[in-house]
Each structure stands twice: as structure tokens, then as C-alpha cells.
Structure 1
Amino acid sequence: MIRVIGIDPGLRNLGWGIIDVTGSRLAHVANGVCQSQGSDMAYRLLSLHAQLSRIITTYRPQSAAVEQTFVNKDGAGSLKLGQARGIALLVPAQAGLEVGEYAPNTVKKTVVGVGHADKGQIAHMVRMQLPGAEIAGPDAADALAIAICHAHHGGASALAAAVAKAGA
């Protein structure tokens, strides 16, 4: 079994979702949203770092995946999102985890079957693949989708195979 954390970067709301991967079986562990505190950028980033660090310490994932950001027309908005993404990459790396990165369309195509699915479709398919999961909102659903994508694209599977081989 490999525990995977998926992270959906956001400056206001950073979604996170944790699943256990055993072969081709997926099981929901936990999910939620880290909300930045304060108005100063440095303190907002510090707040996200502290919250995500606590989650990793609590759930002890063995692998991580983060959604890649897309550049939009608003350069300042893209830059701010990039700073939140830096926290999403930094915290798992500080914990010694390898971090997979996936484009939004890859995540959507893996989970929904269509590269341009909306948030409602993503949440629905996450619930289908993780029965009984209480999802904390759209950002948490996206994070769980990122974790599922990582499980299907070999990030978690390769780690599981290496762990099994080492134990044999």
C-alpha cells in the first residue's frame, strides 16, 4: 500500500486529498482545504506552508502529486498562483517525498475521461472512484483527482512496486 497526497494549489484555497493505493484499488483517507490567513502575501504563504506541513505530518503520505498551473491573461494572478504552487511543491519535498506534476487536462482526462471536464464532473467521478468519501469542496475534489491521476500514471504504482521488491 502506498499513501498519496494530491495538492491543488491556490493562494486563498489550497485543496488537498489523500488516498491509499493498493494495486489498482484506491481508498479515500482524508481531504480538505487549507485557507490562507491574513492580507500580507508573506504571511499568507507561511500560513499555507504551516497547514500543509501539519497535514503531511499527520497522514504521512509516501508520494505526492501537484497540479501544474496554466498561465492565463492576468500575469499578476498567474504569479500569485505560482507562489502558492511553490508551497505545494516545497512542503512535500521537505518531507522527503518525490512530487509528480500533472497538467489540468491530464488530471481531467484520467478521472473523467474528458480533458475539459468541469468541477462538477470531476467531483462526481471522484465520488464514484472513492465511494463514501465526504468531499470538503471543489478544491478538495480536484486534489483527490490529482492523487487518483498520480496513482494511474505510475507515480504511486512505481513506488509500490519498488517497496514490494525491497520487501521480497
Structure 2
Amino acid sequence: MIILGLDPGTATTGYGVIRYLRGRVTGVCYGTITTPAEDAMSRRLLTIYNEIDEVINRFRPDEIAIEKLFFGRNTTTAITVGQARGILLLQAERHQIPIGEYTPMQVKRAVVGYGMAEKKQVQRMVKEILHLDHTPKPDDAADALGIAICHAHMRGGL
């Protein structure tokens, strides 16, 4: 099974593709979709829409895992991230790919074993779990891989 993990953002959307087979996960690919801050929001969302479509068409994921929004203070950031998240959900639905949604705490618990883990701990464990030579960069890509690992874990595998 191929799982596409997504860490939504307007400036940077992280994606991570893993293969999950017989309780084991391996990294396939990861990266980011970035949009220029000076572009209109509509242009930025179109860029995310088009580029995630390319990722989906290239890797043909069986399932998509995406981070749930969790913001306490900055409503402006929450709104823009929510718009990017909506584009990602739309593409998953358009391609008829099942979706799993996870909070940051669920991802940390699945990857590190502790829901309050720090970002560096998650990145280090993503590297170890996927047997990568180096920590995935940027952080958004590492987070997306963590979300995909969480999805595999929640399916009863890891």
C-alpha cells in the first residue's frame, strides 16, 4: 500500500510518500510545495492544487493521511492553512482516495510514543523508522512523512 502524508500550509505544504507492507514502512519520496508570499491567495491555492495533483498522479497513493488543524491563537494562520487543507482534501476526494486525519498529538504518539514530543524527536524517529541516511528536510516534509507513518500505525501495523 502506498500512503501519501500531507502537512498543509499556504507558504509550504509538505508531502511524504511511504510504502506500507506487512507491518513495515519504507520511504519512497518526500518534498514540499511552496508558494510565493507576494502571489494572490487564489494563485497560491491553484499552485497547491496543481502540484498535489502531480504528486498524486505520479505516486498513485492508495490512501492519504493529512494533519488536522489545531490552532489556539492565530486565527489568520488557521484560516490560510485551512484553505490549503481544503485544497488537499478536495484533491483526495477528486481522485477517490480514502483519507485519514490526525492531530499533531496523534502523530507524535504514533511516531515517538509520546504525544508531547518535540519536533526534533519526531524528525529523528522518522529518519530511524524509514531507515533514511539523513533527517528529511525541510521540517514540513519530515512532518508529512510522520503523518504517513501515523496512518500506517493507526491501520494496525507498526
Same fold (TM over 0.5): yes
Structure 1 spans left out of the alignment, 5+ residues: 158-168
Question: 1-side partners of 2:82 and 2:47: how far apart?
Answer: 16
SS at match of 2:20: strand
Contact 1:34 1:51 in 2 (8 A): yes
Offset of 1:74 from its aligned partner? Answer: 1.8
Matches within 5 A, 1:144-159: 144-154=145-155
Question: 2-side partners of 1:22 and 1:73: how far apart?
Answer: 39
Structure 2 match to 1:136: 137
Offset of 1:132 from its aligned partner? Answer: 2.4
Report which of the two structures shows the higher radius of gyration computed on alpha carbons. Answer: 1
Matches within 5 A, 1:109-128: 109-128=109-128
Q: Does 1:28 align with 2:27?
A: yes
Using the TM superposition, name which of 131-140 and 143-152 deviates more: 131-140
Structure 2 match to 1:56: 56
Contact 1:28 1:133 in 2 (8 A): no
Instruction: Give the partner amino acid of 1:153.
Output: M
What RMSD over aligned residues (CA atoms) do the two structures have, in Å? 1.4
Deviations 1:100-133 (A, max 9, x none): 0001100001101111222211110000000125
Q: Give the TM-score, by structure 1 length.
A: 0.88
Question: 2-side partners of 1:133 and 1:6: how far apart?
Answer: 20
SS at match of 1:121: helix
Structure 2 match to 1:16: 15
Offset of 1:136 from its aligned partner? Answer: 3.2
Question: 2-side partners of 1:39 and 1:72: how far apart?
Answer: 27
Structure 2 match to 1:70: 70
Question: 2-side partners of 1:36 and 1:133: how far apart?
Answer: 28
Question: 1-side partners of 2:93 and 2:119: how far apart?
Answer: 28
Equivalent pairs, count = 155
Question: 1-side partners of 2:102 and 2:120: how far apart?
Answer: 20
Offset of 1:72 from its aligned partner? Answer: 2.3
Question: 1-side partners of 2:133 and 2:75: how far apart?
Answer: 36
Structure 2 spans left out of the alignment, 5+ residues: none
Q: Give the TM-score, by structure 2 length.
A: 0.93
In 2 relative to 1, CA 133–30 (structure 1 residues): closer, same or farther, beyond 3 Å?
A: farther
Offset of 1:80 from its aligned partner? Answer: 0.9
Structure 2 match to 1:99: 99
**Percent of paired sites with the same residue:** 37
SS at match of 2:116: coil
Question: 1-side partners of 2:87 and 2:48: how far apart?
Answer: 7
Point out 4+ residue stretches in structure 1 off by more than 6 angstroms.
none
SS at match of 1:65: strand
**Higher relative helix content:** 1
Question: 1-side partners of 2:103 and 2:44: how far apart?
Answer: 25
Question: 1-side partners of 2:121 and 2:90: how far apart?
Answer: 29
